[in-house]
Amino acid sequence: MKYAVKEIFYTLQGEGAHSGRPAVFLRFSGCNLWSGREEDRYKAICQFCDTDFWGTDGHNGGKYTAEELATFVNDLWPENAGHKYIVCTGGEPLLQLNSALIKELHYHGFEIAIETNGTLPVPEGVDWVCMSPKANTEIVVTKGSEIKIVFPQKGINPKDFEQFDFEHYFIQPMDSEEQEENILQSILFCKENPRWRVSVQTHKILGIA
């Protein structure tokens, strides 16, 4: 099997509990909630996406076998540094991430994180699951490491997810034309519901990928 990859880059995780941590980002092509084409955004299930995941034309993008992909990712890690960490994202990584690739990444010593919309089952062996639910979808990932709700989102009430089994609960202000208002609402929500913390997209402030 070959994996369709939009881009691969070494940066810092910008969001959630591992914010600030060095990580290789593996961005898979394609998503089950939007085609990725601007002209389709109005009819997508998920309409606020901040990411270009269409095609394989990004930095280090292309089609790779599991072995090629894991070797490429490993070569981006500084030599003899340890603490190897990969964030599989997209698009929707669970359309492609499978046991063959998980095995290859573990072979090279990587801790494997995913960013998922929660509509597809998580394969065995993923070490960190960040689930970010979208309105009008059926969520099958009800346990994991962190839940990260883009806020505010019509049709999503964070309180409905408190019964799920996650270690960390985050509210992430939606990056949009109303961002200032979204930040204020996120702060207010967390102050009124102290189980939740605000996740800032720090990579956008730092000016990194």
Ligand X SMILES: C[S@@+](CC[C@H](N)C(=O)[O-])C[C@H]1O[C@@H](n2cnc3c(N)ncnc32)[C@H](O)[C@@H]1O
Candidates 15, 18, 31, 146; catalytic one: 31
DSSP 18: G
Question: d(Cα 39, Cα 24) in Å, to the nearest integer?
Answer: 30
What is the per-residue binding string for ligand X in 143-182, x denoting contact by CB under 6 A?
Answer: -----x-x---------------------x-xxx------
- Omega within 30 of 0 (cis) for the link into 91: yes
Instruction: Name which of residues 117 to 176 contact ligand 2KA (CB under 6 A).
Output: none
> Closest separation between CB of residue 110 and ligand SF4, Å?
22
Q: Is 148 annotated as a binding residue?
A: no
One of 3, 6, 7, 14 touching ligand 2KA (CB under 6 A): 14
How far is it, in rounded angstroms, from Cα 31 to Cα 19? 24
Establish if 51 lies at the interface with ligand X (CB under 6 A). Answer: yes
Using CB under 6 A, pick the residue from 10, 11, 32, 123 that binds ligand 2KA.
11
Given 7, 15, 25, 146, which residue is catalytic?
25
Whole-number CA gyration radius for the chain:
17
9 touches ligand X by CB under 6 A: no
Please choose, from the candidates 148, 96, 94, 164, the residue with its C-alpha nearest in 3D space to the C-alpha of residue 122: 94
For residue 171, list its beta bridge partners: 149, 198
Among 133, 143, 138, 139, residue whose Cα is nearest residue 172: 133
Site residues for ligand X, 94-133, by CB under 6 A, read 115-117, 132
Q: Provide, rounded to whole angstroms, the least separation between the CB of residue 186 and ligand SF4.
A: 17
d(CA 22, CA 16): 13
Q: What is the binding site for ligand 2KA (CB under 6 A)?
A: 11-15, 25, 51, 89, 115, 203, 208-209
